[in-house]
Structure 1
Amino acid sequence: MRRTRGTSTSSRTRRRTALVAAGLVAALAAGAAAAPAFAAPTSASPAAASARATSGPDTKALSAALAGLPDHDITAALVRVGGDGSWRGTAGVRDVRTGAPALENARFRAGSVTKVVTAAIVLQLAAEGRIDLDGSVQRYLPGLLTEDFKEPVTVRQLLNYTSGLKPGASLGDTVEEGYAHRFETLTPRQVVAASVAKGPAYAPGTKQTYGNIHYTVLGLLIEKVTGDSYAHQARVRIFRPLGMRHSYFPAAGDTRIRGPHNRGYDWIDGELVDVTDWDVTDRFAAGDLISTPADLERFLVALFRGRVVPEPQLREMFTPPFPGAHYGAALERLEVNGVEVWGKSGSRPGFTAGIGATRDLSRTLVYAVNSTDAKGDGQQAAAERFAYPAFNR
């Protein structure tokens, strides 16, 4: 495979980073490095500790999931488990060049977890009577879809991934392809225009096909209905009311993660490359969120308690459109160790994240993982590594 070169990272720097990372991982494998630090469960009283021991999370399994980091697949991991008992764990390194320990509440790219924020805003607007979930894209965004879209595409169909829209424009389908374009971006309109030009994939409402395009259109819908930017609506409707002080959407052209964060890496042509700085604003309302584990835990709990979206709109998140479908509005229904869990995962190069909970909030999970294959098998591997222990009792 041809080496992919960027505009600001020299091949010499990348080789040096790879060598340092290889040395660090080798040292850990040989037992020469310090063991990862993960926080033990804390309690306010002996009674609370006793209750956690019998009904709380499996702390031994969670600790084992973090043991040995960093390794070839993960350089850092932050895990928060709540509900009936709580546990927090941090392992790995902030930066493979220095070996500094991972930050416990670092900001990270949350990827498609963004979709849950977007769905919440749309459902709030529906509760306010400003959006009809059975209203069509053709009504709210006239001219966005061509005459090839003969059937109405409803807001509800966008929310539950049954709109029939094909994927939009991209600057690369893989990390290797996208790396050379990491300082470029596309506007949401460009992304949608490329989708629309392909025509519908199927009749709206007949199939469920997960993809970013549904939520890119929802972001445009939010802006049209409110006359405001999507990012500002997220701030005033979600982040500020919930006290999510460390969550934000970057402006176009902002490739950094502002504030304390753990660096993200990906294997490219056999070398471990720093992919932290990347303009992902073309992911917009489908995947551009930067947040922290504590902020997302706050959001998850408030959402499930009905403090973000009122009934009956909240039911849309937990109602797949037809038998066999796995998603409601943004959220996916999963069965983990025999437990029904509703949640959402997401990834960007170097970062994978997930939120999930039982419907009654007896168990919650938030993880932020610096996966070296976040856009490939690493996303599922991270979910299995941390979600299974979190929900195994």
Structure 2
Amino acid sequence: MTNSTNSWMRKVRWPVAAAAAALAVAGTAVAPAAASTGTTPVPLRPPAAVAQKGHVDPAALRDALAGLPDDYVRGAMARVTGREGRWRGTAGEWTVPDDAEFAIGSITKLFTSAIALQLVGEGRLAPEDTVQELLPGLLPASYEPITVGQLLSHTSGLQKPRCVRPGTPVEVVTSAVSCGTPTAPGSAVQYNGINTFLVGLVIEKVTGRSYGEELRDRITRPLGLRHTSLPADDWAWAEGGIVSRASDLERFFTALIRGRLLRPTERGLLFTTPETPGADFSYGGLRRVQAPGGGPVVWGKTGSNHGYTSGIFATPDLGRVVVYSTLTTGENPDEETARVLRIAGAGFRGAGTGTTAGGREG
């Protein structure tokens, strides 16, 4: 079972355990695949003999998955879709189908951010609304006002949750702010899962319904995500508790970027980052990164829970969408990161640069 504090308290990079920055949560784990060896890539389209710009590179993907399991990554899955081609493969101890369900960890945050932006589009919530107005008494009285937009973009200034304890969402938040000192809201980027717990509580306060009901009625049911759910016993909740599969994530992420879930103004916020120095998370919770290996700028999110370290990223024009998940050993985070960078980089090898799908790149 994965470390229950995971890496959400560390500075976020592209990586796996560190970049996923999710709460790995106590509860019923999604069982990792049984042991086996070898790589089982399954191309969905006959690859070209030589990879070209704007085309998926099957050889690079096979090489990235080769050699598993090793001392750092027990197994992995990668799926690439989009106009530039399709590919899927598994390796090592990932012996179930590449489209098997797994705990997506902090990728859950994208679902939560999407619901919040839907409420903004409906006029029921505004990025400028503050936690103190919406959830009076939850944060200490000494804290400066924190806006919903700052929660979504990880510029709230909330301290790293060194004192966090499992429990209800309110108990998680109150324990997290029971020690340490926040920085001034809007002054710096600090990735923090408590931000999303607060967004989940805001959603429930504004709608008068549970987060799970809003998730079902706004996203999973309309999009037909039949393999995406929120287990009741996973206290990571709106921050990192969802279980899904690669094809569901692709469908959700594609719908999100194309604007099926959001009105034009809120869709633009997906690609709009704050003026805060170093801001790389948008007001829609997407992270902007340079694809490994000198690839294009892509947007997406990583997550880690119950032994899975995963990510979904895409070029803004959806020419290339990459979903990956790995079963890491926890022996050496740097080596784990290097392997995941290889997989993610291979997924975007030769990708077109794409164009910004909406909003202002901060």
Q: TM-score, normalised by structure 1?
A: 0.74
Equivalences for residues 132-171 of structure 1 within 5 A: 132-149=126-143, 151-168=144-161, 169-171=163-165
Which of 18, 42, 46 aligns to 2:45? It is 42
- Give the Å deviation of 1:382: 4.7
Q: Say if 2:71 and 2:331, in contact at 8 Å, map to a contact too.
A: no
Encode CA deviations 1:193-252: one digit per residue, 9 max, x unaligned: 123333651111111100101001001111111111111211111111111110111103
Distance 1:80 1:234 in 2: 25
Distance 1:375 1:144 in 2: 38
Which of 319, 331, 334 aligns to 2:272? It is 319
The letter for the 1-side match of 2:260 is R
Aligned partner of 1:122 in structure 2 is 116
Q: Structure with the greater relative contact order (CA < 8 A, sep ≥ 6): 1 or 2?
A: 2
Q: Say if 1:352 and 1:379, in contact at 8 Å, map to a contact too.
A: no
Does 2:283 align with 1:289? no
The letter for the 1-side match of 2:145 is P
Distance 2:180 2:267 in 1: 31
Distance 1:356 1:57 in 2: 15
Cα pair distance change 1:374/1:216, threshold 3 Å? farther
Cα pair distance change 1:305/1:201, threshold 3 Å? same
Encode CA deviations 1:270-308: one digit per residue, 9 max, x unaligned: xxxxxxxxxxx3322111111101110111111111111
Aligned partner of 2:202 in structure 1 is 221
Cα pair distance change 1:357/1:376, threshold 3 Å? same
Distance 2:222 2:191 in 1: 29
Q: Say if 1:165 and 1:195, in contact at 8 Å, map to a contact too.
A: no
Structure 2: which 5+ residue stretches go unaligned? Answer: 1-25, 28-33, 351-362
Does 2:286 align with 1:331? yes
Encode CA deviations 1:134-188: one digit per residue, 9 max, x unaligned: 0111111111122111x321110111011111233435xxxxxxxxxxxxx4211
Does 2:304 align with 1:347? yes
Q: 336-345 or 63-72: which moved more? A: 63-72
Distance 2:41 2:336 in 1: 21
Distance 1:114 1:378 in 2: 25
Distance 1:310 1:326 in 2: 22
Question: CA RMSD, aligned part only?
Answer: 2.6
Q: Say if 1:354 and 1:383, in contact at 8 Å, map to a contact too.
A: no
SS in structure 1 at match of 2:236: helix
- Give the Å deviation of 1:50: 8.8
Q: Say if 1:78 and 1:293, in contact at 8 Å, map to a contact too.
A: no
> Between the two proteins, what is the percent identity of the paired residues?
42
Cα pair distance change 1:335/1:65, threshold 3 Å? same
Structure 1: which 5+ residue stretches go unaligned? Answer: 1-6, 9-20, 25-32, 95-100, 172-184, 253-280
Cα pair distance change 1:34/1:374, threshold 3 Å? closer
Aligned partner of 1:392 in structure 2 is 349
SS in structure 1 at match of 2:270: helix
The letter for the 2-side match of 1:319 is T
Cα pair distance change 1:170/1:380, threshold 3 Å? farther
Cα pair distance change 1:54/1:158, threshold 3 Å? closer
How many residue pairs were aligned? 313
Aligned partner of 1:12 in structure 2 is none
Which of 208, 212, 215 aligns to 1:231? It is 212
In terms of fraction of residues, the more helix-rich structure is 1
Cα pair distance change 1:303/1:50, threshold 3 Å? farther
Cα pair distance change 1:375/1:351, threshold 3 Å? farther
Distance 1:299 1:215 in 2: 19
Distance 1:289 1:383 in 2: 21
Q: Say if 1:51 and 1:85, in contact at 8 Å, map to a contact too.
A: no
